[in-house]
Structure 1
Amino acid sequence: MQNNQQIVVKVPATTANLGPGFDCLGMALNLYNEIHMSLAPSTTIIVEGQGADNISTDESNIVWQAARRVYEKLALPMPQISLKLVNQIPTSRGLGSSAAAIVGGLVAANQLAGNQLSQEELLALATEMEGHPDNVAPALLGGIVISVVAEGKVHYLRLEPPEDLSTVVAIPDFELSTRAAREVLPQLVSLQEAIFNLSRTALMVGALCQKRLDLLTVAAQDVLHQPYRAPLVPGLVQVIEAAQRAGALGVMLSGAGPTVIALTGNCQEEVAAVMEKTFLESGVKCHTKILKPIVDGAVVL
């Protein structure tokens, strides 16, 4: 392998849960981070774009950590590498920035080391690093992914998103760590709440498979995590209701939040304006993006 070979990997943002599918549903979106990786005389890490001011540039960097996991898996010494991260995905907002970093680091390092690990092996490493597969699976595989960890193995089904499905993401101007958002969740839920989410998760998957976008309003409902996280995101309930009145098909927290994602048909501009206005009425500045679900996950350019 030539020392000057540069690997460039493009990894998409992801939205997890899709309402009721807590820790098991995720979808890739057309907002990207790029990882540039090459062998070098000494390790250097440069971060551009989102998170440039607070992402570490030493060996605690999550992309570097992911690269090291690949070399450990291959029983090879970790080489000195040059890393440049060009980030469009905002950090700690519920759009899979850490998943993109992990998947990008794994895919780039695997390519640099001769492409010896399979997609399944990369997914297993990514899930091990992230702790759950709901974001890393669509970041790696693209599309909509249902994922389950059983006996240490990730089992998944990948669906093609409906072509006429679009999304609006309202991204508040504050960060919310996944850890903080998990700490507010109860350890036990009632049978009624379990049935509520099970039925809607099944309906969500069926609606996406059969392109029944009219069912998404009911399918997007959740009682397992959103009610408990609402106090962490001022205006959440009002934003969801306002976006639905503006024509959104289903509205929910993206991952652990604070981003709110609306699944839409062709009323994106109206929904975006209403979400921004309603957040502002609760004292939260945000910016909106219209994003499309995508079929491709991480790609080596």
Structure 2
Amino acid sequence: MNMFSLSVPASSANIGPGFDSVGMALNRYLTLQVTRQEKWEFAQHSHLLPSFTDYEDHFIYQIAKQTANWHQKSLPACKVSIDSEIPLARGLGSSASAVIAGIELANQLCTLSLSSLDKLQLATEIEGHPDNVAASLVGGLVISVETDNVIDYCQVPDLDIDIVVYIPAVELKTEKSRKALPAYFSRKDATIASGISNLMIASLLKGDYELAGKMMEHDLFHEPYRADLIPHYHDLKQEAKQFGAYGTVISGAGPTMISFVPKGKGGTISKQMKTFLPHYQIEPLDIDHNGLRVEQEII
């Protein structure tokens, strides 16, 4: 009997001015154990996963079936055991990780032999933008863009920083967060915002994390419009800066926020910030550099 496992990392998107184009994989994971059997079965082992009534209603199954249908294939039945460390509706890419998992489930079960770019194209068509799915798929900090219905992406070399995340108990749906954004920007504002984003990326590549942090916090594309939706937005940024963070921004659509901090300081800053936000889940995380992982087993 064939068995395989999938592991997909969480992700943080936007990173300030990199709206819908910059994503970063983080070491929290959605994992699937898959075993062939005669009937479909989904077994969930985490309170962070959404409830479902029937396997056909399960989001990962729906993505897998959609992927198989696109390639004129039928999904063979199997048992899928799922665990997750990624909270829902918190800005850590729970939907993107599930999309990647569903696509890879179909890829393995139907022997589609999809390339990374094939998977990214499918995932972007489903998600609507490539930032989270690109990071979860290939790992690291990824810059991606869709032009003429084609996705191009580039992984930034390893960053010499630690990551701290601040996860509140409240949810914030992406739809609500997107409704807060303006429909248009003036040419002047778009030019400045684009320059800020460009300088942030250049600073990260150069290793000038002070300047990168400054640019992270000067976003004009989305953070000014979402700030009121995020608990403790201004105070959190100010406190993190006092404790030594380079920059603190909204993770994805929020309400989680994320700091870039000096290497080796993630644990210390996390503990210091817990005194300020005792009801938050605050922890240091690592950048995941592997992205989607598949392990095959014969039992």
Instruction: Write the mapping of 1:250-261 to structure 2, written as runs, cut at 5 A.
Output: 250-261=247-258
Q: Are the counterparts in 2 of residues 145 and 157 from structure 1 also a CA contact under 8 Å?
A: yes
By how many angstroms is 1:17 displaced? 0.3
User: Hey, what does 1:223 align to over in structure 2?
Assistant: 220
User: Hey, what does 1:187 align to over in structure 2?
Assistant: 183
User: Hey, what does 2:148 align to over in structure 1?
Assistant: 151
Deviates more, 1:266-275 or 1:145-154: 266-275
2-structure distance, mates of 1:146, 1:13: 16
TM-score, normalising length from structure 1?
Answer: 0.91
Q: Point out 4+ residue stretches in structure 1 off by more than 6 angstroms.
A: none
2:194 counterpart of 1:198? yes
Instruction: Write the mapping of 1:45-60 to structure 2, written as runs, cut at 5 A.
Output: 45-52=42-49, 54=51, 58-60=55-57
Q: Are the counterparts in 2 of residues 50 and 89 from structure 1 also a CA contact under 8 Å?
A: no
1-structure distance, mates of 2:158, 2:52: 32
Q: Are the counterparts in 1 of residues 200 and 213 from structure 2 also a CA contact under 8 Å?
A: no
Q: Are the counterparts in 2 of residues 253 and 261 from structure 1 also a CA contact under 8 Å?
A: yes
User: Hey, what does 1:287 align to over in structure 2?
Assistant: 281
2:204 counterpart of 1:208? yes
Instruction: Write the mapping of 1:28-67 to structure 2, written as runs, cut at 5 A.
Output: 28-52=25-49, 54=51, 58-67=55-64
Instruction: Write the mapping of 1:117-136 to structure 2, written as runs, cut at 5 A.
Output: 117-136=114-133
Q: Which runs of 5+ in 2 are unaligned?
A: none
1-structure distance, mates of 2:167, 2:69: 36
User: Hey, what does 1:116 align to over in structure 2?
Assistant: 113
2-structure distance, mates of 1:115, 1:201: 37
CA deviation vs aligned residue, 1:18-71 (integer Å, no higher than 9, x gap): 111000000111111101223321111111124246356532222111211231
By how many angstroms is 1:79 displaced? 2.4
2-structure distance, mates of 1:158, 1:57: 38
Equivalent position SS for 2:8: strand
Q: Structure 2 vs 1, CA of residues 56 and 228 (structure 1 numbering), >3 Å: closer, same or farther?
A: farther
TM-score, normalising length from structure 2?
Answer: 0.92
Q: Are the counterparts in 2 of residues 7 and 112 from structure 1 also a CA contact under 8 Å?
A: no
By how many angstroms is 1:189 displaced? 2.2
2:93 counterpart of 1:101? no
By how many angstroms is 1:204 displaced? 1.7
Give the aligned residue type for 1:71: A
Q: How many residues align?
A: 293
Q: Structure 2 vs 1, CA of residues 161 and 56 (structure 1 numbering), >3 Å: closer, same or farther?
A: farther
User: Hey, what does 1:137 align to over in structure 2?
Assistant: 134
